[in-house]
Amino acid sequence: MFVIEKRKTFTKVQNFFLIIIFIVLSLIMSSLIFLLRGLNPFFVLTKILTSAFGSFYGIKETITKSIPLILCGTGLVVAFRGKFWNIGAEGQLLIGAVMATWIGLFIGKNLPSYILIPLMFVFGFLGGGVVGLIPAILKVKFNINEVITTLMLNYIIENLISYLVYGPWKGKTQYGFPYTDNLPKNALLPIIKGSRIHYPTLIIGFFVALLIYFLINKTKIGYEIKVVGENPYAARYSGIDFLKVTLVIMLISGGLAGIAGVGELAGIHKHLTYPYQISSGYGYTSIIVAWLSGLNPILVLISSLFFGGILVGGDIIQTTFGFPFATINIFNGLMLFFIAASHFFINYKIKFVKVKYE
């Protein structure tokens, strides 16, 4: 028989190695999928890594894909610290893209860049934030589970975008494709030459990560978020306003995803189109990014880069070996599964004991 015991202490080094062990385990599990295809898993995994990190082109693409992950991941760290299970970063990101289109293509198309682009980011933040507030209010006021509401909002927003691009916003210059017209030049984000890295968003992401780290550790609202997340009873005892804290959490979490959406639209796509084109599941992948960072905004920068690489590798194995892109989703799912499992082993240990029966 075995018993489960709570661990007394666990050092950061042990913690790190435990996570590494679990990442390796998830790689072994993923290898089974490659084996099913009759391919040598070592070969495939090496291919993923070298294509993401092994070439100049790969690194540029990896950074590009890590930009939305940084922003969404940091936002999710805030939500998860407060134990608000926001699964809706995908939808919040897409709303950011809608706002960018609305401001960039219609409202402010004649404004100069230095006003228009900040305006798009501000509205992206507000759009994502307001969408985030809906489940926050529903949870605090009516006790409705936020996992359901945030997830369902994703589908609503995806369909809203489909409606827009097939209907009222369908572009006249796009030869009948369900795209909006391209944004005017003054609404496009500058990129690093020879890459797709829209550096304004990258810089925002970098500073946001630092800012959120400061917010969580050194401010009053950060303290309230931690207390609400760790012990709601103590939060009530200390007189913390749940509604206020939850609203702030989701305004930040949704807002940051919204900024990511602005970046994707004005930096990469230049027009609004099918939702799954705008975001290749960044909102979902960032859940894993946040967990892998151990809910530390600074480490989100690193885990985003890692998963950005995985996404690039996914594209490559798709073209090289003819794998469907879903393979990478399986891979990500397994990774999340194992990281979640590792958290159990950080807090508990399993001890085998002999039981004597009389």
Residues lying near other proteins in the complex (CB under 8 A)? 8-9, 218-221, 223-224, 226-227, 230-231, 233-234, 236-239, 241, 358
* CB-nearer residue toward other proteins: 9 or 143: 9
Tell me the C-alpha distance between 167 and 4, whole Å.
Answer: 57
Q: Rounded distance, CA 69 to CA 20, Å?
A: 21
Q: Smallest distance from the beta carbon of 346 to other proteins, in angstroms?
A: 12
Q: Which is nearer to other proteins, 8 or 172 (CB)?
A: 8
> Nearest approach, Cβ of 18 to other proteins (angstroms)?
18
Q: Which is nearer to other proteins, 111 or 221 (CB)?
A: 221
User: How far, rounded to the nearest angstrom, does the alpha carbon of residue 200 sit from its chain's CA centroid?
Assistant: 18
Is residue 240 a contact partner of residue 223, using CB atoms and an 8 Å limit?
no
Query: Among all chains, which residue has been given the structure tokens 């959406």?
Result: 261
Output 55 or 217, the one with its CB closest to other proteins. Answer: 217
* Identity of the residue, 57 or 214, whose beta carbon is nearer to other proteins in the bound complex: 214
Residue type at 59 in one-letter notation: I
What six digits make up the tokens of 154? 């994703």
Q: Which two tokens stand for residue 262?
A: 């602005």
Burial of residue 131 (CB within 10 Å: 0-12, 13-18, 19+) is buried
CB of 135 to other proteins, least distance (A): 24
Minimum CB separation of residue 12 from other proteins in Å reads 13
Q: What does the alpha-carbon distance between residue 71 and residue 117 come to, in Å, rounded to a whole number?
A: 17
Closer CB to other proteins, residue 57 or residue 230?
230
**Minimum gap (Å) between residue 207 Cβ and other proteins:** 17
Phi, psi of 333 (to 5 degrees): -60, -45
Q: Residue 135 belongs to what H/E stretch? A: helix 113-142
* Closest residue by Cα to residue 96 from 223, 239, 275, 320: 275
The DSSP bridge partners found for residue 351 are: 3
Q: Smallest distance from the beta carbon of 239 to other proteins, in angstroms?
A: 4
How far is the first Cα of the chain from the last one, in angstroms, to the nearest whole number? 16
Nearer to other proteins, 156 or 234 (CB): 234
Cβ(307)–Cβ(355) below 8 Å: no
- Amino acid, single-letter form, for residue 116: L
Min separation Cβ 228 and other proteins, Å: 10
User: Based on CB atoms, which residue is closest to other proteins, 353 or 358?
Assistant: 358
Shortest Å distance, C-beta 112 to other proteins: 33
